[in-house]
Structure 1
Amino acid sequence: MAPAGFPASLPLCVCLLLASGFAQAGRLLVVPMDGSHLFTMQSVVEKLIHRGHKVVVVVPEVSWQLRKSLNFTMKMNSVSYTLKELSHCFKFFAHNQWKTEEVGMFSLLKNPGRGFFELLFSHCMDLFSDKKLVEYLKKRSFDAVFLDLFDVCSLTVAKYLSLPSVIFARDILFCHYLEEGAQCPSPPSYVPRGGLKLTGTMTFTERLRKHLAYKGEHGFCPYFFKTARKIASEVFQIPVTMNALFNPVSSWLFHRDFVLDFPRPIIPQMVLVGGINCHQGEPFSKVCCLSFST
């Protein structure tokens, strides 16, 4: 189902933009997230450039892995924190995260180092404060925005520019916003939720535990994304919810494989691209077959 305000064929057009040999060179805006999230998108971006698409990447000037490339246009925006502060916040968060065996969104909320995410979310206000950069993006007439699921700022950028967006992510079990925004069925009694260490075969107690965790997300997730929602509301000058940011997304590319994950419903706009980050192996050497006769 296409989002309201966009033509029904929009998801197909976006997929064709990312497909080989089906579309002319287009203009793609990429808003990546630093760290390991960047590596999962890099191979796709490089392939798009190789096929002739024009790519503009917007990154904060303070980052770990985001480096200038000769293959695409990079636009940088200043931020209010230093690399030392970014690294310190991350190390503090990671240290406290590894001390507990609990995983998932709830552990992030209880982690005393969650200020790391507040720091990441804050760069969005710095981006929109750069009026020259914002005007540049508005005048470039992009065809779509390629973004990371966890970086809420990229969703804000796509909505602000009224552009179709393509999300590249590992899974769809991220809070409840993605499955609700995508209108993707996710029955709490059937689909295992991430971080609970449950399988597709659950007892009644396990199903009840998962259902309570799902309900708990509706209370915890808005608090986790409080800073991101506040910034988006300031950008649009109206109260903005997370569902309002996720609803306009046109397509989802998931680097997962249905063979390795639990079965679950997906909608046509969701495309599984498992193995896209695997190293391209070399062809097998030729084998000489010998026949022996008696």
Structure 2
Amino acid sequence: FLPTYLIFLLLALSLIFAEGGRILVIPQDGSHWLSMRPVVGKLQQNGHEVVVVVPSTSLYMTSKEPQNFTVKVFPIPYTEEHLVAVLRSFVNAHFLERSVFNIITLYQSVLEISSCFLTNCKSLLHNEDMMWYLRESKFDVVFTDPTIMCGPIIAEYLSVPSIYFLRGFPCGMDSEATQCPNPPSYVPRLFLNNSDSMTFAQRLSNTLGLMLEFVYCKPIFAQFEEFAYEIFQKKVTATDLLSRGSIWLMRYDFVFEFPRPVMPNMVFIGGINCDQKEKLSQ
């Protein structure tokens, strides 16, 4: 009886002295931030100290809106008009004017928007005052959308564990970074409209899509790899940086996604952004 009593006493004391952590949030603009923002608010409500670092120019990430967490703003060298124009070009090329004949425009739009995000990342890491603040704050974890790669770079720079919050990652790099099996004969590639039950011809097109993804994504992430080399003074690939992620919070749902292998640290949280409705009346 005595050992059990002591165990319960120790557990009770540990709950009394439990403290929230210090969380650094490196978000991505657009709908990515709209999905992440409610989670960030909940973290603050649960007793964690949350600091969100945002660029001075953005669509939705602003320090003027009411919030219960700390926002730190760093300057960037382009205007809101430029950002809107780049995002409009990206949306038009990917969702409104999709065509095999539009592939050059589509590729250019991706390079333009990734260049904007790279500029943001460079402006942050070259801002001595902001980086001094981040180092001295001694954060426990970096909570980030890794699509723009800046969050993983910051986490590596600060030597802090990272938690990813994302809907998916281009070119299957999430599977590669987590060493998760991703055979093209079974797992549909992005944008090809294949299912998990493919014909032989569809599997061939799926494999071809995998090869084209390398050509499509390599120049985009090469920019961030060059910048990472500048920061760390050693060769670091995008996959290396992504592989540092401790937990991948995937906004997937087993109901809507095709069956595919996942690793234990890839957690499906589909529906987290769904609006909470009242119960139906009798």
Q: Look up the match of 2:51.
A: 56
**2:188 aligned with 1:188:** no
CA spacing shift, 1:243–1:109, aligned 2, 3 Å: farther
C-alpha deviation, 1:249, in angstroms: 0.8
CA spacing shift, 1:137–1:108, aligned 2, 3 Å: farther
Instruction: Give the 3-state SS of the residue equivalent to 2:113 in structure 1.
Output: helix
Q: Is the 8 A contact 1:93 1:114 kept in 2?
A: no
Task: Say which of 118, 123, 126 aligns to 2:123.
Answer: 126
C-alpha deviation, 1:248, in angstroms: 0.7
Measured in 2, the distance between the counterparts of 1:99 and 1:48 equals: 36
CA spacing shift, 1:250–1:102, aligned 2, 3 Å: farther
What amino acid is aligned across from residue 245 of structure 1 in structure 2? L
What amino acid is aligned across from residue 231 of structure 2 in structure 1? V
C-alpha deviation, 1:113, in angstroms: 6.5
Task: Say which of 215, 220, 224 aligns to 2:220.
Answer: 224
Measured in 2, the distance between the counterparts of 1:192 and 1:275 equals: 22
Instruction: Give the 3-state SS of the residue equivalent to 2:152 in structure 1.
Output: helix
Task: Say which of 2, 5, 26 aligns to 1:31.
Answer: 26
Taking the TM superposition and a 5 Å limit, the aligned residue runs for 1:1-294 are 24-68=19-63, 69-98=66-95, 100-102=97-99, 110-112=107-109, 114-171=111-168, 174-285=170-281, 287=282
CA spacing shift, 1:96–1:46, aligned 2, 3 Å: same
Q: Which runs of 5+ in 1 are unaligned?
A: 1-22, 288-294
1:13-64 deviation line (CA, Å, top 9, x unaligned):
xxxxxxxxxx741111100111111011111111111111110001101111
CA spacing shift, 1:77–1:246, aligned 2, 3 Å: same
What amino acid is aligned across from residue 90 of structure 1 in structure 2? L
Q: Is the 8 A contact 1:59 1:75 kept in 2?
A: yes
Measured in 1, the distance between the counterparts of 2:165 and 2:22 equals: 17
Q: Is the 8 A contact 1:32 1:57 kept in 2?
A: yes
CA spacing shift, 1:185–1:208, aligned 2, 3 Å: same
Q: How many residues align?
A: 262
Measured in 2, the distance between the counterparts of 1:123 and 1:225 equals: 15
TM-score for the superposition, normalised by structure 1:
0.83
CA spacing shift, 1:124–1:182, aligned 2, 3 Å: same
Q: Look up the match of 2:3.
A: none
Q: Look up the match of 2:7.
A: none
What amino acid is aligned across from residue 143 of structure 2 in structure 1? F
C-alpha deviation, 1:186, in angstroms: 1.0
More helix by share: 2
Measured in 2, the distance between the counterparts of 1:108 and 1:49 equals: 41
The structure, 1 or 2, with the larger RCO (C-alpha pairs under 8 Å, 6+ apart) is 1
Which of structure 1's runs of 4+ aligned residues deviate more than 4 A? 106-109
Superposed CA RMSD in Å reads: 2.1
Deviation larger for 239-248 or 273-282: 239-248
Q: Which runs of 5+ in 2 are unaligned?
A: 1-17
C-alpha deviation, 1:95, in angstroms: 3.1
1:55-107 deviation line (CA, Å, top 9, x unaligned):
0001101111112244111111111111121112222333344453249xx77
